[in-house]
Chains A and B, each alone.
Chain A
Amino acid sequence: MVSGIGCSSRAPGYVDFNTLHTTHGRAIPFATGIKLAKPEMTVIVVTGDGDCAAIGGNHLIHAARRNIDLTVVVFNNFIYGMTSGQYSPTTPTGAIGTTAPYGNAERPFDLCKLAEAAGATYVARGTAYHARVLPNLIEKAILNKGFSLVDAITQCPVYFGRMNKVGSAVDMLKWQRDHAVSRKEAETLSPEEMGARLVIGELYNKPAPEYCELYEKVMEKAQGK
């Protein structure tokens, strides 16, 4: 398990694998080196919205483009929590952060759409509230032979919650419950009705040739096989 820097990235310290806590934004290229050098290893990246979509955004789209067999789980809490509440690439427009005291003027990324457009072959979204759904999505992401992204919506009551007056950690979990819709439900809703709602579940699953396997073919060609 490989991580970058931030609250999310401390997670490898709590699991009994080979765990690598790397530099800010760079978990995916470290993981790429591990996977390509030893494709039989299962490699999971845990990262946050700042880590993977801002400083590490370039690595995210290129790993997705290669369809290298990594599973990226994004702890998406819409804020830089570890550095105390600065706005991130997923902070909603208008939301308050310590660096957006008058409301965020930027538009947020939809990480699932970004990953799908960049070439990921499995994309899903879950929330911390839907605790029985999220592990299934992560399991399917790991089983996908290719680049997988799971956008895991989490709560940061300390900064996002407090600054945006959305209540306690429990209130924030309730918000996740009340705003999550399935793909089917979402199709029946108008953009206005969708509002801040989040589509959860499996959003994209379309296998494609995996990078390390394609590189095996390169090696065979180089060896005249």
Chain B
Amino acid sequence: MSERNVKFMQGNEACAEGAMAAGCRFFAGYPITPSSEIAEILARRLPQVGGKFIQMEDEIASMAAICGASLVGVKAMTATSGPGFSLKMENLGYASFTEIPCVIVNVMRGGPSTGSPTSPAQGDVLQARWGTHGDHPVIVLSCSSVRDLYELTVKSFNLSERFRVPVVLLTDEIVAHMREKVDLTELESIELVERKKPACPPEEYVPYQADPETDVPPMANFGEGYRYHITGLTHDETGFTTQKPEKIAALHERLYRKIENHRHEIIETRNYYLDDAQIAVFAYGCTARSALRAVREARERGIRAGLIQPVTMWPFPDELIHEVAAQVDVFLVPEMNMGMMVREVERAAHGQAEVFGQSLVTWEMFTPAQVLAKIEEVHNWVMSKTTSESRPSRTSGALAAATE
């Protein structure tokens, strides 16, 4: 048996090493806690292999620079946190609309504004999907372990190259700064996906003519003889701007289809103890760690709880939630915000099961005991099926106790 490659790594370090393994050879960033280690490590690692690192003058410029680098065929990434993520939004929309593959890591911290720079939070999950103006496709993944930060960074690059779409990789201060043992043996051999290049000669190249099977246009790199135009204006297949209503619609509908028609190949969830579950917990990021322990402890107490941990936040796993909703009595959605993904669970459950949120905004990670207490409260409510007054409240036990 060959030797295993086991390392003790920090989350941000795993992200940087995952990027290296994915073939990322360009990083542009701006210092911001709690993501700075990713930039620091890549500033050292990239030039060792002929890659480029640049610290730009701001977050907006970093997002622009990775788009530029990707256009010449170099896999590119940036990493940031809350305030920086807000600043990247316009150019993230540009990347989405002009179909430039790139990866944006957002290590979530307490917000809004400067908030709590050294504390975890989960308040950017809807911004990751809808933060830029205009309807647009985007893929968002969520990490809850150091291993995830390696594996899902590679996956982010693969998805961005395949679908020509910006991919947002969400994590939080806890996961990014935590150190864990990671077995890289299998992870190092994850197959890499490269963007599809045009098969035709330059004079026949129509830059935004998509493959009808995939709805993704083959992408010619700048500087390789395929001279063409890219604009953030609404454009037709030639890449030039158009104001024809049918062409505008055709573009938006194709951009929607290229993700939605392949959602089953994109969506990944980790499901625990769902087979006989009466209570399904839906949790992501660092919260999923506490939730898993809480679910196990609930089972020890005879409560049939299960856990859905979405790896893919967007597209949202509607089908799974709908299916599970037909089986369970309730969903519990603990999250470090005042209730964001809980609305998505509620929407996808479609009234088949009760959905309870559990909010924690102390910017301290959920403890397993907090989630367990809520599971028990929800379980008791299901058992008694009492009046609506005793319906479990949204705030966590800890927060309620602190405010009383």
Contact = CB atoms under 8 A, between A and B. Distances in A.
Interface of A: 2, 12-13, 16-23, 26, 28-38, 40-41, 58-59, 62, 215, 218-219, 221-223
B256 interface: no
A178 to B, nearest CB: 37
Interface residues of B, number: 42
Chief secondary structure at chain B's binding surface: mixed
Contact of B54 (A18, A36, A38): A36
Contacts of A28: 61
B222 to A, nearest CB: 4
A218 B52 CA distance: 10
Given A18-B222, A41-B222, A33 B48 contact: no
A222 B73 CA distance: 23
Contact of A37 (B58, B61, B69, B233): B69
A73 B222 CA distance: 21
Given A29-B64, A32-B65, A38-B74, A58 B231 contact: no
Most chain-A Cβ atoms within 10 A of its Cβ — which of B64, B70, B76? B64
B50 interface: yes
A34 to B, nearest CB: 4
Contacts of A58: 57-58, 61
Nearest to A216: B47
Contacts, number: 121
* Nearest 3 Cβ contacts at the A-B interface: A33-B68, A33-B65, A29-B61
Given A29-B68, A33-B69, A37-B74, A21 B47 contact: no
Contacts of A12: 229
Contact of A13 (B60, B70, B229): B229
A215 B70 CA distance: 19
Interface of B: 25-26, 28, 44, 47-48, 50, 52, 54, 56-58, 60-62, 64-74, 76, 90-91, 94, 222-223, 226-233, 240-241
A59 B229 contact: no
B222 A21 contact: no
A32 B61 contact: yes
Given A33-B64, A33-B68, A58-B57, A19 B229 contact: yes
Contacts of B52: 36-37, 215
Contacts of A18: 71, 222-223, 226-228
Contacts of B222: 18, 20, 34, 38, 41
Contacts of A13: 229, 231, 240-241
B193 to A, nearest CB: 19
A40 B74 CA distance: 14
B56 to A, nearest CB: 6
Contacts of B72: 34, 37-38, 41
A22 B100 CA distance: 12
A30 B74 contact: no
Contacts of B26: 33, 36-37
A31 B54 CA distance: 13
Contacts of B67: 22, 30, 33
Given A18-B223, A33-B69, A26 B47 contact: no
Contact of A59 (B54, B57, B74, B241): B57
A26 to B, nearest CB: 5
A218 B47 contact: yes
Contact of A36 (B44, B57, B65, B226): B65
Contact of B68 (A19, A31, A218): A31
Given A22-B94, A32-B56, A58-B58, A37 B230 contact: no
Contacts of A215: 47, 52
B228 A22 contact: no
24 contacts: A12-B229, A18-B227, A21-B231, A21-B233, A23-B64, A23-B232, A29-B60, A32-B54, A33-B26, A33-B65, A34-B68, A34-B71, A34-B72, A34-B222, A37-B26, A41-B72, A58-B58, A62-B56, A62-B61, A215-B47, A215-B52, A218-B47, A221-B47, A223-B50
B223 A41 contact: yes
A19 B69 CA distance: 14
Given A20-B222, A23-B91, A33-B76, 14 more contacts: A13-B229, A13-B231, A18-B222, A18-B227, A20-B71, A20-B230, A21-B230, A23-B64, A29-B61, A33-B70, A35-B68, A37-B72, A59-B57, A62-B57
